[in-house]
Amino acid sequence: MSEATFMDKAAELDAADELAERRKLFALDDGTVYLDGNSLGALPRHVPARLADVISREWGELRIRSWEESGWWTAPERIGDRIAPLVGAAPGRIVVGDSTSVNVFKAVVAAVRMVADDARDEIVVDATTFPTDGYIAESAARLTGRRLVPVSPTELPAALGPRTAAALINHVDFRTGRLHDLPSLTAAVHDAGALAVWDLCHSAGALPVGLDEHGVDLAVGCTYKYLNGGPGSPAYLYVAERHQARFDSPLPGWNSHADPFAMAAGYTAADGAPRGRVGTPDILSMLALESALDVWDGVRVAAVRAKSLALTDFFLECVEAYAPDGRVTSLTPRAHAERGSQVALSCAEAPAVMKALIERGVVGDLRRPDVLRFGFTPLYVGFADVERAARVLADVLAEVPAAPRD
């Protein structure tokens, strides 16, 4: 098809898009195609006013009274309940706070403690995981006297057995955008008598997760990608209801005490999701996140997933039509059941290509040495954006000299 034909197709798809009006809720300029929401989501337009009120009135005027009068104290659970439907969880199972790394540590150590079987001396981890998860899992293994077993997700079922205490798995591979089969892998972990811990950083807000439906034990995720919570916005921890009474956090802080203001010398864990709290909540970033979540009001996750797949399908189609032969290869699976909400292209000249793309208003990101990564956030990315991004990519590839081939 010609460029004009692809532009016409993009216009038709945008006209039929039930989520198209959501773009107006974000601070985006027409001159930029923003395809890096899988690293940092765009700013919802109303958040600055809300944060200004938090600073000037709640902090500036009410001061300490805001812990009670403005609901600061209950924010971690309240915001957790707003995230819950986006990942398929009932209220009371998610608490917001700390970073993803800290929550991974809590979840993995708590999983080993809940299994409470010295014969289960292995922690299985996704070998392709985001590096921090691997670092944390290794530390958790040392702390609990377990051995770390890194395996690819495709090999995970075969690696499970009577020695497995827990498995830490990424729902979507951060490099390739490959979606791993959460229901079947969770079932395999349970069949082995272990607990499943899932990292949802690249899936929450982009596709259905089904934590309760699929019997996930523990899960963590960030909020600054598809949930648009802002740079460094707090992460969250999911603890299945059946495990909450036994959840034994390795970081028992005063905020998770059953009676935090008693300031008792001994620790007694709170009931439910608050067991996942540690120290004083980071209120400014937490309330910015709470406000950002307003953009999800009335949005069906199924519609988000349908648009995500349509966007990535169309991008791959346009790249295939526009890009010079042999310059880029998709690392992202074509099969919908195996694809998250990003497209990763292998390109020998990736650093120079991404630099040129950003200079021309197409913002993706680079994963060294040779991966061009493009994230498609259905709430604000349109099909015309997709066509333009592929067209500019083709222009850049035509201008950037090809690296010598062996």
309-328 residue pLDDT tens: 999 999 999 999 999 999 99
Phi, psi (degrees; rounded to nearest 5) at 33: -100, 110
User: What one-character-per-residue DSSP string does 359-385 give?
Assistant: HTTEE-EEETTTEEEEE--TTT--HHH
State the pairing for strand pair 218-221/236-239. Answer: antiparallel
DSSP label at residue 399? H
Cα-trace Rg, the chain: 22
Residue 225 is a catalytic residue:
yes
The whole-number pLDDT of residue 362 equals 98
Question: Is a pLDDT exceeding 70 seen at residue 1?
Answer: no
The whole-number pLDDT of residue 3 equals 81
Mean pLDDT, range 82-103, rounded to an integer: 98
Which of the following is catalytic: 106, 163, 373, 388? 373
Residue 106 is a catalytic residue:
no
The whole-number pLDDT of residue 2 equals 75
Q: Is the bond into 369 cis (omega within 30 degrees of 0)? A: yes
DSSP label at residue 147? E
Which of the following is catalytic: 36, 199, 370, 385? 199
Which of the following is catalytic: 34, 105, 130, 174? 130
The whole-number pLDDT of residue 99 equals 98
Contacting residues for 351 by C-beta, under 8 A, at least 6 apart = 366, 368, 369
122-159 residue pLDDT tens: 999 999 999 999 999 999 999 999 999 999 988 999 99
Cβ–Cβ < 8 Å for 145, 109:
no
What's the distance, Cα to Cα, between the start and end of the chain in Å?
33
| Lookup: tokens for 387 | 């066509």
The whole-number pLDDT of residue 402 equals 87
Mean pLDDT, range 52-62, rounded to an integer: 98
Which of the following is catalytic: 82, 225, 275, 307? 225
Residue 314 is a catalytic residue:
no
| Lookup: tokens for 90 | 């009932």
- E strands along 100-217, which residues? 122-126, 147-151, 164-170, 195-199
- SS3 state of residue 297: coil
Q: Which amino acid is at 103?
A: N
Mean pLDDT, range 263-283, rounded to an integer: 96
The whole-number pLDDT of residue 53 equals 98
- SS3 state of residue 126: strand
User: What one-character-per-residue DSSP string does 226-285 give?
Assistant: TT---TT---EEEE-GGGGGG---SS--GGGBSSGGG--SS--BPSSGGGG--SS--HHH
| Lookup: tokens for 247 | 């959840």
Q: pTM score, two decimals?
A: 0.97
In angstroms, how far is CA 59 from the centroid of its own chain? Answer: 30
Phi, psi (degrees; rounded to nearest 5) at 242: -65, -15
Token pair 């200004």 is found at 52
When the pLDDT of each residue in the chain is averaged and rounded to a whole number, the result is 97
Question: Is a pLDDT exceeding 80 seen at residue 67?
Answer: yes
Domain extents for the chain?
3-30+298-399, 49-296
Token pair 């709290």 is found at 277
**How many angstroms separate the CA atoms of 259 and 276, rounded?**
15
Question: Is a pLDDT exceeding 70 seen at residue 268?
Answer: yes
Residues in the chain: 406
Residue 130 is a catalytic residue:
yes
Pick 49-296's CATH classification: 3.40.50.620, 3.30.460.10, 1.10.1740.10, 3.40.640.10: 3.40.640.10
Question: Is a pLDDT exceeding 70 seen at residue 406?
Answer: no
CATH class of this structure's domain 3-30+298-399: alpha beta
Question: Is a pLDDT exceeding 80 seen at residue 355?
Answer: yes
Beta bridge partners of residue 179, listed in sequence order: 172
Cβ–Cβ < 8 Å for 367, 344:
yes
Q: What percent of the chain has pLDDT above 70? A: 99
**How many angstroms separate the CA atoms of 377 and 387, rounded?**
15
Which of the following is catalytic: 26, 105, 174, 224? 224
> How wide is the angle at C-alpha 77 spanned by C-alphas 265 and 231, nearest 5°?
105
